[in-house]
Chain A
């Protein structure tokens, strides 16, 4: 597949935006400025980026507890994201959701989700909805390796394939369900083989190679849009940090330093940077300039979050129910 140069630059920029955003959270979390839980996407940037790059703004995604990458790739605004992580009123969810619940219906983000495997039925339903409404919208469902052991995975793949729904199931196999390694949580290596049982294509892709992810996403989204049915894409990848920022020793209780280092050598961003520079698609100078530009964008997001107010206590009672006649 021949990818346009602009598309390659876009992929690079999106991965960088996710990387720098997450690195900033590491710092803010360590300084106690981000409350609660933060599950970071560092190391997995190529998956969300490659997949979302083929989606239209009116296509849908469902995300997970590790959702920052997905929503950034789908076009979320960093200011509102950062403010939400700070628990501020100007955040995506008015400070009521936090890191695990960022949603924006206007750009098709049906929500990050704190329950492993919960996005699968919701994505399947968005697929049913597109079929009912007669649109050609596609829904992408992100989930992890261990979520493929949940009943919702099997129920949803069955239902989606039965009705040839326009859904792309994207399994981010980062080899661990929190602390439990894949070999300890399932008897298979390739989760993609589970697609066979539901009569849909299942493919394994190098989840640290954004171009490979992009190419598989193209095929799957095209198939979904043509109403030919769902696809399961398994992206093999790795999270660099612990399960969440409070994970003791950043996940070295159950993983070796060697393993972490080996995966860091497969950095998806460095891989693409090398290619872009070698092929003269991006000059070294331009790479540095881009980093500066994204850093500024994040600085602005942090400033916005800092300057924003916390919600008032009375606001706790709002949005539990929609009152009659209340507009969205």
Chain B
């Protein structure tokens, strides 16, 4: 199968959906001529014109809220927020409007829109362009939260997100945009709430998201040399969360490590850990461990930023610690 990047896979998904459905329109800052800060919308302005690929002013509340109004009245907008950090200036539109309308109106009205954001440190962009607070959106009933880790998942999940009738927070990862992987040329969608076991193993489960999936795969080989057989479960969507696949993996291995790039406190890993502790405690042979970002803002200086990002070294240490329990 041909290989394309994560950014190209997303681009292809957008293009296919726009060809198929006139209601799909794109909005965001610098998504037109510039092609989007990470080139996800490159070439789409030329193909679909400025009416359907709309560069917006720096007015996140207006254009995200605008998408809510457009979605309520029959459109399927896909909106790009340049960095997840900037969702803070339109949080009312996301949390109080987009997420709640269907419920608050007793099922009247639908908001089928996709809000694209990206997370991840490692580009020297400091504390306001590098955050990974995607767990915030898991806390809001009404939103779906999608976290692709590979080009294949990125395309299939994006197509599903656009076709889904619910509002979707589509969380991309900056360090993954250039990663290549096999992606079918035809259109396909990946259902939400279905985790993907990225590696099968019997000794220890790593539930990993985004770049932590790739980092976990890297250390799994090293661990196997030491006789540790790691299983890697990628939830792919945080809401809905595939509890069953996580539970059955934990049941098999008896050890759980959760790896996510958000802060440790109240993060994705905290939630998954609590869920397993509530439901699976008698299957556990060891405490649950989390590998996450520290509870500090993202620092600028390269050595500090490098230390900030949870990496293979952190994962390997945690794996070894978990294996100390018989």
Chain A interfacial positions (CB closer than 8 Å to B): 60, 62, 91-97, 101, 103-105, 110-111, 113-115, 118, 120-130, 132-133, 139, 151-152, 155-156, 158-159, 162, 318-322, 326, 328
Contacts and interface: CB of A to CB of B under 8 A. Distances in A.
Contact of B73 (A94, A113, A130, A159): A130
B67 interface: yes
Contacts, number: 148
B69 A129 contact: yes
Interface string B57-76: 10101111111111111110
B108 A132 contact: no
Interface stretch (B91-99, B243-251, B304-312, B318-326): B91-99
Interface residues of B, number: 42
Contacts of A62: 69
A104 B61 CA distance: 24
Given A91-B106, A96-B103, A321-B142, A155 B59 contact: yes
Contacts of A101: 104-105
Given A113-B97, A328-B110, 4 more contacts: A97-B105, A101-B104, A128-B69, A133-B73
Contacts of A328: 107, 110
Contacts of B144: 321
A321 B93 CA distance: 18
Contacts of A321: 102, 142, 144, 166
Contact of A128 (B70, B93, B103): B70
A156 B65 CA distance: 9
Contacts of B57: 155, 158-159, 162
Contact of B142 (A97, A132, A151, A320): A320
Contact of B105 (A93, A159, A322): A93
Contacts of A115: 92, 96-97
Nearest to A122: B69
Contact of B62 (A113, A129, A156, A318): A156
A159 B69 contact: no
- Give the most central of B51, B59, B68, B97: most A CB within 10 Å: B59
A126 B106 contact: no
A318 B102 CA distance: 10
Nearest to A106: B108
A211 B65 CA distance: 32
Interface string B143-167: 0100000000000000000000110
A113 B109 CA distance: 14
19 contacts: A60-B73, A92-B105, A92-B106, A103-B104, A103-B105, A110-B109, A111-B101, A118-B93, A118-B97, A121-B62, A121-B64, A122-B65, A125-B67, A125-B70, A125-B72, A128-B66, A133-B75, A156-B66, A159-B66
A320 B99 CA distance: 9
B56 interface: yes
B82 interface: no
Contact of A129 (B73, B165, B166): B73
A139 B70 CA distance: 11
B66 A121 contact: yes
Contacts of B74: 129, 133
A127 B77 CA distance: 14
Contacts of A91: 106
Given A110-B73, A110-B109, A322-B166, A159 B62 contact: yes
Nearest to B103: A319
Contacts of A162: 57
Contacts of B62: 120-121, 124, 152, 155-156, 158-159
Given A129-B73, A133-B75, A155-B57, A124 B103 contact: no
B141 interface: yes
Interface in B151-206: 165-166
B109 A97 contact: no
Given A118-B96, A121-B68, A128-B70, A322 B103 contact: no
B25 interface: yes
Contacts of B67: 125
A139 B73 CA distance: 11
A132 B70 contact: yes
